[in-house]
Structure 1
Amino acid sequence: MNRAPASQTSHRIALLFNANKVYDREIIAGIGHYLRSTRVAWDLFLEEDFRCRLTGIERFEGDGIIADFDDPAVAEALQGCPLPVVAVGSSFEDAAQYPADLPYIATDNRKLVSLAWTHLIGAGLPHLAMYSLPVAQENLWAQERELAFQALARDEGVDAPVYRGLATSAPSWNQASEQLGVWLDALPKPVGVIAVTDARARQLLQACLMHGIAVPEQVAIIGIDNDPLTRTLTRIPLSSVIQGTEEMGKTAAHMLHQMLGGARFPGRRILVPPVGINVLESTRHEPLSSPHVMRARHFIRQYACQGIKTEQVADYVGVSRSSLEEYFRRELHCTVHQEILRHKLDAAKALLASRDAASAEVAIRCGFTSLQYMYAVFRRELGCTPREYQDSVTPTVAVTASAAAPSTHSAG
């Protein structure tokens, strides 16, 4: 039987997270990174499906716990727990919201929202709004992001509405989508909307598509989480704030490691700032004077990789091909075909950089008629082959960095 070296003490640690959320998954990943980078020997307890079930947790015969305190049921279940506990969750404006007797590692909501706000203002958007969640005990983190958003609006002296919408459920889905579309229609344009999560941002994108609202010319959208699964469900690539969740996991694991050695940190709070922004199409706002070009680009963003032609774009806009070409020459100094090709090329470059597909599959997925044609386009536009382009880039997302550093707050 393999055992830990004699110099190490093995500890049984419970991780109470719901890994169906990218936030929780990345915190768990951060814990894993800490374990791999040290000689710590932990026997980790997680449910086999990575869900958090609290039944019997009071009988856990372990040595410590790291838990998601954004779930009020978790916080309640661990009240009075005799084991060392490190809480992970949302930051709060009101210090009384933190557990007084536990160390707490928090995502910095004020900095998350401020980074998104600054990005949208920098994109030239004169109006801002937020799409949040209904008030509920399990949504306190969302309400904290609302407070941060409203504080920024007060500081800037602007009217920036917050819309909470309905909770996501099958019976209310049609009603929720319709009401969201009505709210979006009524907003002054152009407007930048911050969604409290990528899941809410995806709903915004869908509502814009259903109501014919151009993204990002009329409504620019940014989420929070940088969730890769959400990105696969949107036609228009979604910009998103990248939380410092892996750093939160590493910090929580390091703190628990110290507590297992006898250290105590009652009331210690560490706020972890965002990493930056993955800037994609949903916030690449360019003011346009022609509503025809705006509508055309909205259609092209959605369907460029499906082999659309100029005639189909003109039909969607409701003008003749020659008129649309004239609008494009005046506004963008290019043809409709060149704009379609630019989107296909950008999509191909992103896929090649991510190493998610071979060149032949990239050609198919990005709407090129053949691999040879894609090679010809790369040589003409970039002066290299797709393979040479792939070899020249690092497989990372396009991130606008946050210069903020973690901050530590102790209970007074």
Structure 2
Amino acid sequence: MTKSPTPRRPDRTSGPAVLRVALLFHASKVYDREILIGIGDYVKQTRVAWDLFLEEDFRFRLDGIHEWEGDGIIADYDDPAVARALAGAHVPVIAIGGSYEDPACYPGQVPYVATDNQLLVARALEHLVEAGVTRFACYSLPESPLNRWAQERERAFSAWLLRNGASGEIHRGLATSAPTWGSATKKLIDWLDSLPKPTGIVAVTDARARQLLQACIVANIAVPDEVAIIGIDNDTLGQHLTRIELSSVSQGTAEMGRRAAQLLHQALSGSPVRGARVVVPPAEVHSRASTARDVQHSPQVMRALYYIRQYACQGIKTEQVAEMMGMSRSSLEMYFRRDLKRSVHDLILQCKLEHCFELLAHTDTGIAEVALASGFRSVQYLNAVFRREVGSTPAVWREARQAVESR
């Protein structure tokens, strides 16, 4: 399904006609990949006779796109160069991109499938409210024609604050590249230090959210107790790149792909779709450690929990947590018993088990690797802890979960 467009028309003299559809997306981006998955799902489910063409980097072919003898195009209209190149195209075009607050900004009569920026930001802020946050901020991107959806999310953030009588601020930061890493991180830390604590931050992408997490780690700012962070995209790759798992709102990208393919199918069948507008709501809020705040606890417990969340799976012990805090083990245990009614060891074990559950549920990682990645010294020890805490072995727990999900 990943072929390069060529100007040669297929021979349609025998058998059913197979239509050629170009997909103008960046397959290296999680947002684009999930849209492509939705398009592929529609093609498989409906069994439409389409050949799908996907370039590794379609921008190199934009100048000659009008010469391509295909039948239809589904394209990322967040890139202004794409919209310009496809103006006046001789085949049906379906656009996909971010929604506009101003309906007049949509591209004329080109059918448009959009993610709902208003709802994305509202869901993120509502999640932060549930986490006990009353002050908010938005970490965005420098203004650019390539990320005008980020400015739409800023406006959605400001509108939500106004509707709900809440206070907050927007920080765009710097565009990141290797030469600016140091200065970008320093400026980000300065901004984070200036915020009242606690503050909940909505990042316009998971990539921006990961920058926040890294800056908080460097500056020793406790996440989520001092700064709670939620991103947008639910990029699962990012969960492997930070010690604190990131909460995120997943866009309805697969549904966007399906709806775009459906519109193109209608257009190729002769049904009118000109000027159609489809805005797809978010799929889900994924609550993880970066917003799992423990409210009304002492500063000592909050700092210790921050350290435990980062290093539990590296095999830390209660003594190491106490040493980091600069207090005796007995004093630390006193704070934990008073605030949480649990021991430091209990919280370390809870974090290790949560990571174990995540790996068992969402990966095919072998049990031995799960044990090591979760901070257990052996499979036997993991099995013993599972039997005591869960009532089964990790393998049985995984099989039972898979059986439930397959129903």
Partner secondary structure for residue 216 of structure 2: helix
Matches within 5 A, 1:11-160: 11-47=19-55, 49=56, 52-53=59-60, 54-160=62-168
Q: Deviations over 1:124-144 (max 9, x none)?
A: 111111100011111110000
Which of 246, 255, 259 pairs up with 1:251? 259
Change in 2 beyond 3 A, CA 1:292/1:4 = farther
Matches within 5 A, 1:391-402: 391-394=399-402
Alpha-carbon separation, structure 2, partners of 1:285 and 1:394: 30
Matches within 5 A, 1:228-243: 228-243=236-251
Equivalent AA in structure 2 for residue 378 of structure 1: F
Change in 2 beyond 3 A, CA 1:354/1:395 = farther
Alpha-carbon separation, structure 2, partners of 1:278 and 1:5: 51
> Cα offset for 1:355?
3.6
Alignment of 1:364 onto 2:336: no
Alignment of 1:166 onto 2:201: no
Equivalent AA in structure 2 for residue 356 of structure 1: D
> Cα offset for 1:156?
1.3
Could you tell me the TM-score, scaled by structure 1's length? Answer: 0.92
Matches within 5 A, 1:336-351: 336-351=344-359
Q: Deviations over 1:29-64 (max 9, x none)?
A: 0000001001211122211x3654324212111111
2:5: which partner in 1?
A: none
Higher helix proportion, which one?
2
Partner secondary structure for residue 363 of structure 1: helix
Alpha-carbon separation, structure 2, partners of 1:354 and 1:138: 33
2:187: which partner in 1?
A: 179
Partner secondary structure for residue 161 of structure 1: strand
2:4: which partner in 1?
A: none
* Larger CA deviation: 181-190 vs 101-110: 181-190
1:314: which partner in 2?
A: 322
Change in 2 beyond 3 A, CA 1:230/1:276 = same
Could you tell me the TM-score, scaled by structure 2's length? Answer: 0.93
Partner secondary structure for residue 171 of structure 1: helix
Change in 2 beyond 3 A, CA 1:288/1:64 = same
Alpha-carbon separation, structure 2, partners of 1:377 and 1:14: 52
> Cα offset for 1:267?
1.6
> Cα offset for 1:72?
0.9
Q: In the alignment, is the contact (CA less than 8 A) between 2:248 and 2:285 conserved in 1? A: yes
Change in 2 beyond 3 A, CA 1:6/1:277 = farther
Percent identity (aligned)? 56
Equivalent AA in structure 1 for residue 255 of structure 2: E
| Alignment gaps of 5+ in structure 1 | 398-412
Alpha-carbon separation, structure 1, partners of 2:12 and 2:34: 26
Equivalent AA in structure 1 for residue 279 of structure 2: L
Change in 2 beyond 3 A, CA 1:225/1:96 = same
Alpha-carbon separation, structure 1, partners of 2:370 and 2:141: 37
Alpha-carbon separation, structure 2, partners of 1:120 and 1:159: 13
Q: Deviations over 1:81-108 (max 9, x none)?
A: 1211000001001112110111000001
2:308: which partner in 1?
A: 300
RMSD of aligned alpha carbons:
1.9
> Cα offset for 1:309?
1.2
1:405: which partner in 2?
A: none
Alpha-carbon separation, structure 2, partners of 1:318 and 1:51: 56
